[in-house]
Amino acid sequence: MKPARCRVLLSTPIRSPLGAITAAGVQGKRGWSGWKTPRVLGSYALVLVTKGSGAYEDVRGCRRELTAGDLVWVFPEVGHSYGPREGGAWNEVFVVFTGPVFDLLRSSGVIDPARPVWRAAPVDRWRRAL
């Protein structure tokens, strides 16, 4: 994989008793063909594909093709990989976070590792929101 172009949007974590946003940024990726070992992030994350296409896969057996407007939920303990296909490219906005409010959303079924990919259109509205 060629190096990603990344613009960091959050350099210092924002913390509260309900949780923390630990990282955020915008990046472009090229030439992904999957990791040999799935990555376990240890935090929640949202990744919005804003341009291009690629794929998502995780150790739970989910495999999805992704296009602009797809939103990937990453869960702390779920091994996963995602990115543009080899020879392809995409742009993304990402936010990494942790905390009890996100655990509550998960335990109540609002977010679920069995449904890691959502459709978020129109893309520009969601990109601005994130």
Angle at 114 between CA 25 and CA 8, to 5 degrees: 5
- The stretch 14-27 carries a mean pLDDT of 92
Single pTM value for the model? 0.85
Any long-range contacts for 1-10 (C-beta under 8 Å, 24+ apart)?
A: 1/29, 1/30, 1/31, 1/32, 1/33, 1/83, 2/30, 2/31, 4/28, 4/29, 4/30, 10/95
Q: What pLDDT was estimated at residue 15?
A: 94
Q: What pLDDT was estimated at residue 126?
A: 75
Identify the bridge partners of residue 117 per DSSP, sorted by sequence position: 72
**Which amino acid is present at 74?**
V
Is residue 33's pLDDT more than 60? no
Q: What pLDDT was estimated at residue 127?
A: 78
Q: What pLDDT was estimated at residue 2?
A: 47
- The stretch 14-30 carries a mean pLDDT of 91
